[in-house]
């Protein structure tokens, strides 16, 4: 299964991705995590993106596409993955289409977590307060001004992907304002429907080829 989780910062992509990993044995490919790891390790890529990320802006498409393209080729991702935080721009989505097409793969679904912006701000403020209370280190980009930039980047650069994937017929909108368990259940329904539809399509094409050969 090859899935994309799409939604603004704080929509719950990471939480749902972890549940999908546990349930379906898929790997979670989070570009945010990969880029943060590069920053932490002080690699050339990390040095290039550190300031961009701290401002809440988007890293260059070519850089992010390169990272994802390599990661998708690793053995643990061959049978399926959940992309979390990628693609974030139309050029990234087009590059992903090319990468998958070259391997003869398709996207199974783009799960769009729909949330309202005021709720997002509250969620992220809560997340920051919880982390502070636990004495955990905050992310450089978890503060009000940077959050504003992250939401702006989402609206301007990432939201157009909703139309892009709707047009391709793979968009599956889900109400991200429901409880975590309800969102998980809604995603499960989408994936169950999808595999039933795939099974039906396979049976149809088998029947057709049998008819042709008899």
Query: Rule CB under 6 A: which residues touch ligand ADP?
Result: 9, 31-32, 35, 52-53, 56-59, 64, 85-86, 88, 92, 141, 150
16 within 8 A of 109, measured Cβ to Cβ: no
In the annotation, is 36 catalytic?
no
Q: Which is nearer to ligand ADP, 28 or 31 (by Cβ)?
A: 31
> How far apart are alpha carbons 197 and 170 in whole angstroms?
13
Query: What minimum distance in Å lies between the beta carbon of 200 and ligand ADP?
Result: 34
Between residues 26 and 161, which has the closer beta carbon with respect to ligand ADP?
Answer: 161
For the bound state, the minimum distance from the C-beta of residue 70 to ligand ADP, rounded and expressed in Å, comes to 14
Please check whether residue 57 is in contact with residue 94, taking contact to mean a CB–CB distance below 8 angstroms: no
Q: Is the dihedral of CA 88, 90, 93, 99 positive or negative?
A: negative
Tell me which of 2, 13, 36, 172 is the catalytic residue: 13
Q: Is residue 121 a contact partner of residue 15, using CB atoms and an 8 Å limit?
A: no
Catalytic residue among 88, 98, 202, 208: 88
Q: Measured in Å, how far apart are the chain's first and last C-alpha atoms?
A: 33
189 catalytic? Reply is no
Residues involved in catalysis? 13, 88, 127, 139, 150
């Amino acid at each position: 299964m090859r899935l994309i989780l799409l939604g603004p910062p704080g929509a719950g992509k990471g939480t749902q991705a972890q549940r999908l990993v546990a349930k379906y044995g898929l790997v979670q490919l989070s570009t945010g995590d990969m880029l943060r790891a590069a920053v932490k390790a002080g690699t050339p890529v990390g040095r290039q993106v550190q300031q961009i990320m701290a401002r809440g802006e988007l890293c260059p498409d070519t850089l992010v596409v390169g990272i994802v393209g390599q990661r998708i080729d690793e053995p643990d991702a061959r049978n399926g993955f959940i992309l979390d935080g990628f693609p974030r721009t139309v050029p990234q989505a087009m590059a992903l289409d090319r990468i998958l097409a070259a391997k003869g793969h398709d996207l199974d679904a783009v799960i769009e977590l729909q949330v309202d912006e005021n709720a997002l701000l509250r969620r992220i403020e809560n997340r920051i307060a919880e982390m502070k209370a636990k004495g955990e280190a905050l992310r450089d980009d978890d503060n009000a001004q940077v959050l504003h930039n992250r939401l702006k980047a989402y609206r301007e650069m990432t939201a157009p992907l909703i139309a892009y994937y709707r047009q391709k017929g793979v968009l599956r909108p889900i109400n991200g304002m429901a409880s975590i368990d309800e969102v998980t259940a809604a995603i499960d329904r989408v994936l169950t429907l999808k595999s039933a539809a795939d099974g039906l399509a396979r049976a149809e094409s088998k029947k057709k080829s049998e008819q042709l050969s008899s």
